[in-house]
Amino acid sequence: MSLNSTISPRESASQVDKSPVSDTAGDPSTDDDSISFRKPKPESAWIWSQYNLTPLETTWIPKGRGKGKEKSKPLNDRLISCKRCNWSTKDSVRHNATSNMIRHLLAQHDVSQKNHQCTGSLSPNTLQSQEDVKKTFEKNFIRWIVAEDMAFSSVESPFFQQMINEIPGLSIPFTSRNTLASRISAEFELDRAQLVEELAASSNAVALSLDGWTSSNDVSILAVIGHWLSADFVYKEAVIEFAEIEGAKTGENMGGMVFDLLKELNINTKLLSITADNASNNKTLMDAVENSLELQDQFSNPDKQTSAPRFQGRASFVRCLAHILNIIVKKLLETLKSGNRLQSVPLTRLKIGDI
């Protein structure tokens, strides 16, 4: 096990305490004249009970030693491994300081001088910490499956299960693709509920950007991104819809999907604008959303006692600048006849010196 693979950036040698070396700081002494160890402070004995010590063949010289013979006297190096996980350090890295060792115990295992057990058994707080680690691992495991588009059947591979189960303190959270699918759905519903709460608590206006397309396997998709400012003016955005378009890819159909999304997230009166490309069905989409919002407002708010929708149909339609630039460039290249090598002769003349 190499040091670089087991020590985190926060616990690296660059973070080691640079305080002067104390004659009483360190570890049990030895009678070997060629090497030297320091006796531990009484109050640091609990730290060493949490680690395994493995002598190494290499030696080291502490920083800040005196001159002459004392400065050249080497110390035997040792590998200091945590009893609870695979974290480790060396005497040559820590230079007699135990701050990183204490920090690791507290941050990763919730172990301090007050709640430690010298026998090496886990305290109740440590057991609770391990449960938190398992929950965090399960959540990140699910997000990795989704983000990397992994096959759900990969969790059923015995080799994959063995790889996870052999990590100390961890075990694969589920071994069935059906269980994985259920957990992904549950995680989505949880995140969805949190998004609704956040929009209700911190946002007064929401802008949408959307696009519809047909995938290579002939599935029509509508994706919607929400943009808003929190109460403390922090810009936020999130993919709030990514769904298959059932039926015809018309503006009315997609407008109905957008309206259902607004109702689900309870942002009917908060919609400020919609940004999309210049496809003809997007104009009818704006009309469909505007009509649906007006009908809902008339039905639920006949006396106009609550806020009316801010969205004003095509007046709130923002054309995508990137799409407009794309159309301009395509038209320019078409005019210059840049379709093939023979037709692109005029384009090759557009040089700085020729303009």
| Residue-wise pLDDT tens digits, 223-270 | 999 999 888 888 999 999 999 999 888 999 999 999 999 999 999 889
* Domains of the chain: total: 4
237 and 155 in a common domain: no
Domain boundary residue among 121, 137, 161?
121
224 and 301 in a common domain: yes
350 and 282 in a common domain: no
Domain boundary residue among 94, 121, 148?
121
162 and 104 in a common domain: no
347 and 314 in a common domain: no
Domain enclosing residue 170, as ranges: 127-194
Among 8-22, 154-168, 264-278, the minimum mean pLDDT is found in: 8-22
Q: Phi-psi region for residue 4, left (φ > 0), alpha (ψ -120 to 50) or beta?
A: alpha
311 and 332 in a common domain: no
309 and 238 in a common domain: yes
For residue 128, the tally of other CB atoms under 10 A from its CB is 12
Please give the Cα distance from 39 to 57 (Å, whole number).
Answer: 20
296 and 222 in a common domain: yes
Domain boundary residue among 69, 94, 121?
121
Nearest to 222 by CA among 310, 272, 282: 282
Please give the Cα distance from 85 to 257 (Å, whole number).
Answer: 49
Whole-model pTM: value is 0.52
78 and 167 in a common domain: no
172 and 108 in a common domain: no
208 and 99 in a common domain: no
Residue 291 maps to which CATH number? Answer: 3.30.420
Residue 258 burial class via C-beta count within 10 angstroms: exposed 0-12, middle 13-18, buried 19 and up? buried
pLDDT digits over 46-86, tens only?
888 888 888 888 888 877 655 554 555 788 889 898 888 88
141 and 168 in a common domain: yes
Per DSSP, the residues of 295-318 read: HHHHHH-TT--SPPP---GGGGEE
